[in-house]
Structure formats: structure tokens, C-alpha cells
Amino acid sequence: MTTTLTTARTAPAEPADSIPHPPGMPRMIRRADGVIAPAAPRTFEETGLDAWILSDLTLKLLNTVPHLATPSAATQLRLPVALVEKILWQLKEDQMVEILGQVDEVSYRYAITNRGREHAKRCMEVSGYVGAAPVSLHAYTTMIEWQTARRTPPTFDQIRDTITEKLVLSDEAIQVAAMASSSGRSLFVSGPAGNGKTSLGRALHACADGDLWVPYCFTIDGTIIRIFDKQLHHPLDDGSAGEGSSVFSGGEETDRRWVRIKPPFVVAGGEMTMAELDLSYSPSHRFYEAPPHVKANGGTFLIDDFGRQRIEPHQLLNRWIIPLEQRIDHLTLHTGQKIEVPFRLMLVVATNLPLEQVSDPAFLRRMGYRLTLEKPTPARWANVFHRYAADAGAEVPGGAVESLLARYAAENRELRASEPRDLIERCRDLCRLHRKPFALSPAFLDAAWCAYFGVSETKP
């Protein structure tokens, strides 16, 4: 089935030369909707790739279908129709493909020849990647660095308001967190479990405004490394990430090898291993998947539960020392070749273990900021309880909070900032179970306490 590319031209794009950018970076234009975007390549040279990379990729694509029209090939390769037609015409001259018919005055329907099929099979043995055309590693690097350098940092008021919407922290803690967020430096957060370390990381990421262009993949000497991840990257342009989609915001003026996304937020927990922090090579597909911190470029990378991974903490610490200091990272291909990629993200490390167990002075010196979130005071715990109850739409009976705090003291339990939410939600579960209106009555709170802490309902 032939897919026709559609373009919406409500206004001409701003000339590329009006938007300064470093040498080697894609041309930038201002789209009709005001978004600054990479411009579609007009020539093979502007793709930043060797011609054989595009020819081999096109040939592999044709080897997957009985026939393919130029517009449909352009949709899947994310390249302009005129450029794809030139690629296909050259393949026809090389007797790799043949023309089956004409689609319109400028494009045709093609089928792969036996000669082309043999060449495509050899290409697949080197790399099994078929999809959007890559960008160069240099283009990816310069694009990430240019975008992060242009970003306007959030103000203190914006950061404070974002944090206080979800968390109750001291003014000192908010100040440190705001300094880390505004500067884009890393943040090491420690303290007892359940007091908002992970939530703080999410709140700081929510302060990152704007958008970010990332490629589907980049190439180094023909080796493909995939960047775009549907699970981690959230497109801002309808249809820009859909496989086989023919609708692209910005039309042919935008380089569709790039996807406009929200700044990414990537979390790595106790399941993280050292192998996951390097390129992941698939022998069956014969291309690489970028590690999570590379996919987090331009956003936030949260290492949660630091020290509980299946590797020694000092190994992870050593892994981050050079990226934190030089803002670049080195990844290794399965051939042993090293490549250099940007490390332009906010790294947040959260741990509830003692610092002496999971860190050393050399690592902490390279972290931008350090913050300890201690257990809440009774007044702060009460504040959290009242705020969450209000958000949940429940009224707090008089003396309910005081009774709960007395119970904590009688059972010698430490206060945790996450527990007001947990107790209130268990009251909600109980009310739903008994088909009663949601309420925080003493009886419901007693039952919630028992269900949460696993003790008898006997009051202190």
C-alpha cells in the first residue's frame, strides 16, 4: 500500500542562516508553529552521512517488501522524498532495483532485483537495522550540547513551587535542591527511606521546561546505535514517532530523523548492572542500544536505591567520575573501539544507606551538591498528613493526627514522610471495600494502621 507524505505549509520556515549554530550541527529553522527544528537535508552532504550508508539502508528496506513506492520509502527512512528518489534512482542505475511503475510525476514504485537481494543479505550480516536513517555521531553530539546550552534555567520561585506542590521540606533543603536544578549539576541525596528522595528527583525533573530534539539513531562508521526509546521518550509532535506514520508536524521542512520530545526522565534502581551502563549489542539484530544515561541526555537520570545494586558501590562510583568531571562519556563497541558521547544531564543519586558504605571523598567532591533528607519532625509529619488528606478530598477529624503521632511514640516507630499517604490510601481501600463514603474516622485509621504495620488494633 502506498503511503503519501502530507505537508502543512501555513507559513514559510525561517531561513536557517538566521539561527546561529556551531559548525557540523544540522541546519536549524523556525517552523511555522514557532518551534526551532533541524532542517531537512537538501543534499547527501547535508545528511552528514556517506552515500553508501543511505543506499545500503534503502536496499535493506526494499528487501523486506515485495515492492515500495518512493513516498512510502521516504516515510520509513524519515528522509525527504526528493532525496530518497535520488537514492532509488542510483540503485536502479546499479541494477539493484527495478521500476515497476510510476506513482506520480516525480516518484516511482520499485522492487529489488536478485542482484540487489544478494547485496542486501550481505548488508544484513553486518547490520540488521532497518528503519529511520541515522544521523552522524558528531551531529548528535553538537545538537545535544547546543540545546542544553541554550536552555533557560528555572528560577528559584519555579523550583520551590514545584517542590512544595508534592513535598514538605525545610527551606534549607529546598535551597540546595534549587541550586542543583538551576545549575544543572548533579545532586547526591541521602537519608532514611520513605522521606522523599525519589519524589524530590521527580520534582526537580518537572522543573525542566521546554523540548529536546533527539535522533532515532546515530552511526559511527556504519555501526548503528539506537537512541530513541518509546518507553522513555515522549514525543511532542503528533505522529513524529509512529512507525509507518505519514503525518509529520513541520512537513518536509523538518528533518524527520529527529524526534521532538520532552526532556527525558530515566530511573535506574537496584536492578542496574555495570553492563547496562555501556552499549548493548544484539547479535541477532546486529546493532546497538544506547545505555539509559545516554537516553537521558538533555534530561534527568536518577539512580535510586544507590548501594543496593548487584555490584559494589565503588564500581558505580568509579563509573561516574570521568563523566561528572568532563561531561563526556566513553562507550565501547563489541570490537573494542571506544566512542565519545556527551554527558549532558542532571544526575541525581539517592540512597538510604550510610554514606561511608556507598561513597568516598573523591566521588562526593565531583557531585555538584549534597543533601540529607532526615526523618520528619512531628509538626512536619502532621503537615504532610493534612496536605495529602486535602488532596485526597478527605476531612481530618479533630485529634486524629495527634492520636497517630502518639501511637508512633508508643510503638517506638520512626516517622516517615511517605506514611501519611500510605495510611490515608488504606483508609480509602477500606471504605471502598465496605461500600462506605471515604472518611478518616478513628476506626478506619486503626484498621489502616493494622493493615500497614501488621500489628494489632490495640490503641496505645
Cross-strand bridge partners of residue 266: 301
Can you tell me the mean pLDDT for 107-122? 95
Final residue of a structural domain among 332, 350, 372 = 372
Separation of alpha carbons 246 and 259, rounded Å: 14
146 located within any domain: no
Statement: residue 57 has pLDDT above 60: yes
Task: Determine the 3-state secondary structure of 443 from DSSP.
Answer: helix
The H-assigned helical ranges of 327-418 are: 355-358, 361-366, 378-392, 400-410
Q: Are residues 362 and 449 in the same domain?
A: no
Separation of alpha carbons 137 and 217, rounded Å: 9
pLDDT digits (tens, 9 = 90+) for 216-255: 999 998 899 999 999 999 999 865 433 333 333 334 589 9
Q: Are residues 108 and 163 in the same domain?
A: no
pLDDT confidence of residue 4: 34
CB of 253 closer than 8 Å to CB of 11: no
Q: Are residues 333 and 280 in the same domain?
A: yes
Separation of alpha carbons 92 and 296, rounded Å: 41
pLDDT confidence of residue 211: 94
Final residue of a structural domain among 372, 390, 414 = 372
Q: Which of 64, 73, 70, 58 is nearest to 108 (CA)?
A: 70
SS (H, E, C) 226-282: ECCCCCCCCECCCCCCCCCCCECCCHHHECCCEEEECCCEEEECCCCCCHHHCCEEE
Separation of alpha carbons 245 and 4, rounded Å: 10
For 280, the domain range is 154-209+263-372
pLDDT confidence of residue 5: 34
pLDDT digits (tens, 9 = 90+) for 249-280: 334 589 999 999 999 999 988 778 888 899 99
pLDDT confidence of residue 17: 47
Cell of 342: 556527551
Separation of alpha carbons 214 and 233, rounded Å: 9
Separation of alpha carbons 372 and 377, rounded Å: 14
State the average pLDDT for the chain: 88
Separation of alpha carbons 440 and 264, rounded Å: 38
Q: Are residues 366 and 389 in the same domain?
A: no
Task: Determine the 3-state secondary structure of 276 from DSSP.
Answer: helix
Q: What is the pTM of this model?
A: 0.85
Which residue type is seen at 405?
Answer: L
| Percentage of the chain modeled with pLDDT above 70 | 92
Final residue of a structural domain among 321, 338, 372 = 372
Statement: residue 9 has pLDDT above 70: no
Lowest mean pLDDT among 24-33, 45-54, 93-102, 414-423: 24-33
The CATH number of residue 332's host domain is 3.40.50.300
pLDDT digits (tens, 9 = 90+) for 295-343: 999 999 999 988 777 777 778 878 888 898 899 999 999 888 999 999 9
50 located within any domain: yes
